[in-house]
Amino acid sequence: MTEPAPGPDGRLAPQPGRWTKQSAGATFAAVAAFAVTRDATFGFFRRTLPAWAYTSTVLASLAASAVAYGLAVWWIRRLP
């Protein structure tokens, strides 16, 4: 099997089904943001919204992880 040719910027194009630096780093950032946000917000939501504590915690954690993923991809792509 031959190696893929570098793109116009000199980098190799990502192969389908393979982890790249960008996707691995951004996924780690998203998981870390989810865990930190979940731990930080559950106590607050349990006191203020007892019936919706789990739902609101998961929604806040998913929002934080989506933002963290986007920021990590943007930041990692700027690295040399």
pLDDT band at 3 (very low <50, low <70, confident <90, very high): low
Q: What is the pLDDT of residue 49?
A: 94
Q: Tell me, yes or no, if the pTM score tops 0.85.
A: no
Between CA 45 and CA 52 the distance in angstroms is 7
Beta bridge partners of 6: 12
Q: What is the pLDDT of residue 22?
A: 82
Q: What is the pLDDT of residue 12?
A: 65
pLDDT digits (tens, 9 = 90+) for 13-71: 666 667 777 888 899 999 999 999 999 999 999 999 999 999 999 999 999 999 999 99
Q: What is the pLDDT of residue 54?
A: 95
Between CA 63 and CA 30 the distance in angstroms is 10
Reduce the DSSP state of residue 12 to 3 states and report it. strand
